[in-house]
Amino acid sequence: MTGWIAVAGLGPGDDALVTPEVTAALDQATDVIGYIPYVARVAPRPGLVLHPSDNRVELDRARHALDLAAAGRRVVIVSSGDPGVFAMASALFEALEAAGADPDIRILPGITAMLAAAARAGAPLGHDFCAINLSDNLKPFALVEHRLRHAARGDFAMAFYNPRSRSRPEGFARVLEILREECEPGRLLIFARAVSTPDEALQIVTLADAHPAMADMRTVVLVGNSATRRVGRWVYTPRSAGVA
Ligand code: SAH
């Protein structure tokens, strides 16, 4: 049997947001690898081996997948959202570089948290935007600050992933401070928590009213650009800027 690896995005939570392509790969898999809560979203069945693992072992997971595929297994590595957004796809290629192997690999996209959150709010990412991972696990916090400041000066709308954890609650307070230095107090922020799950909660506030406790690790934070505005209960960013 020829082995393969699919790195699949499970979307933000709701099964209706899993693509048919991902469902088909899971149906054909012999093995599913991933962080415990994501593997828990895959229904067990005879012939399918589930390999849940703790967080922060991305490279071990990727090597494991390469070994299993070399032995002829059909492996799906699961991520939440999209596997290319702060997730397992890059880890697999990093392991591949080190291993020098050439297995059959597919990356199957999913709906990433910022897009699911933006859709709930309206169209806050309707003009140029960027995504920043606020976690300092894999980069120094000084780099987060640098990118954040430049994105704000470039008047990008922004999406923040991994905004706040128990181990570094002060990081997100610093992020709000920097935004207050660079943006006007009326700038709109959206705190979107657990989008498309039963725990979903959306808060739309101005920068002046934003508070660090509004974010946790299940929250993606969207920041509008200087033109982002409300219409009724919606928030949107106009598609044009600086055009007469
Ligand atoms: N690959 C994932 C992101 C993994 S990083 C994706 O594309 O969405 C984990 C971070 O994603 C969380 O800290 C949170 O900021 C965000 N996130 C993931 N699922 C979410 C959801 N359902 N609602 C809000 N934010 C979510």
Q: What pLDDT digit, counting tens, does each position of 176-194 carry?
A: 999 999 999 999 999 999 9
Residue 86 beta carbon below 6 angstroms from any ligand 1 atom: yes
Q: How far is the CA of 79 from the centre of ligand 1 (A)?
A: 10
Residue 80 alpha carbon to ligand 1 centre in Å: 7
- Report the nearest atom of ligand 1 relative to the CA of 221: 15
Average pLDDT, whole number, for the chain? 95
Q: Cβ(135) to ligand 1 under 6 A? A: no
Q: Is the pLDDT of residue 152 over 80?
A: yes
Domains 4-108 and 113-236 fall in the same CATH topology: no
| Ligand 1 pocket member 195 (CB < 6 A) | yes
Question: 80 and 11 in contact (C-beta within 8 Å)?
Answer: yes
> Average pLDDT in the 150-157 region?
98
Burial class (CB within 10 angstroms; exposed 0-12, middle 13-18, buried 19+) of 8: buried
Q: Cβ(85) to ligand 1 under 6 A?
A: yes
Q: Which atom of ligand 1 is nearest to the CA of 162?
A: 13
Give distance in angstroms: CA of 75 to centre of ligand 1.
23
Write down the pLDDT at residue 164: 85
pLDDT in tens, 111-138: 999 999 999 999 999 999 999 999 988 8
Pair 95, 201: CB distance under 8 Å: no
The domain limits of the chain are: 4-108, 113-236
What local confidence, expressed as pLDDT, does residue 244 receive? Answer: 53
Strands 201-206 and 157-161: unpaired
Mean pLDDT of 162-172: 81
The pLDDT tens digits for 59-108 are 999 999 999 999 999 999 999 999 999 999 999 999 999 998 899 999 99
- CA distance to 82, 132, 194, 234, per residue, from 22 (Å): 11, 26, 21, 31
Measure the CA–CA gap between 98 and 82, rounded to whole angstroms: 24
Q: End-to-end distance of the chain based on CA atoms, in angstroms? A: 61
**Choice between 227 and 58, residue whose per-residue pLDDT is larger:** 227
Backbone angles phi, psi at 49, to 5 degrees: -100, 125
Residue nearest to atom 18 of ligand 1 (CA): 113
Does the domain at 4-108 match CATH 3.90.550.10? Answer given as no
Ligand 1 center from residue 102 Cα (angstroms): 30
Q: Would the CB of 58 count as within 6 Å of ligand 1?
A: no
Q: Is the CB of 38 under 6 A from ligand 1?
A: no
**Would the CB of 220 count as within 6 Å of ligand 1?**
yes
Pocket lining: 13 vs ligand 1, CB cutoff 6 Å: yes
pLDDT of residue 192: 98
Mind spelling out the 3-state secondary structure of the chain? CCCEEEEEECECCCHHHCCHHHHHHHHHCCEEEEEHHHHCCCCCCCCCEEEEECCCCHHHHHHHHHHHHHCCCEEEEEECECCCCCCHHHHHHHHHHHHCCCCEEEEECCCCHHHHHHHHHEECCCCCEEEEECCCCCCCHHHHHHHHHHHHHCCCEEEEECCCCCCCCHHHHHHHHHHHHHCCCCCEEEEEECCCCCCCEEEEEEHHHCCHHHCCCCEEEEECCCCCEEECCEEECCCCCCCC
The answer to whether the CB of 34 is under 6 A from ligand 1 is no
Sequence-distant (6+) residues with CB within 8 A of 141 are 171, 174
Cα 242 to ligand 1 centroid, rounded to whole Å: 32
Ligand 1 pocket test target in 19, 80, 175 with most atoms within 8 Å of CB: 80
161 lines ligand 1 (CB under 6 A): yes
CATH superfamily of 113-236: Tetrapyrrole methylase, C-terminal domain (3.30.950.10)
Average of per-residue pLDDT across 20-46: 97
Q: What pLDDT, on the 0 to 100 scale, is given for residue 101? A: 84
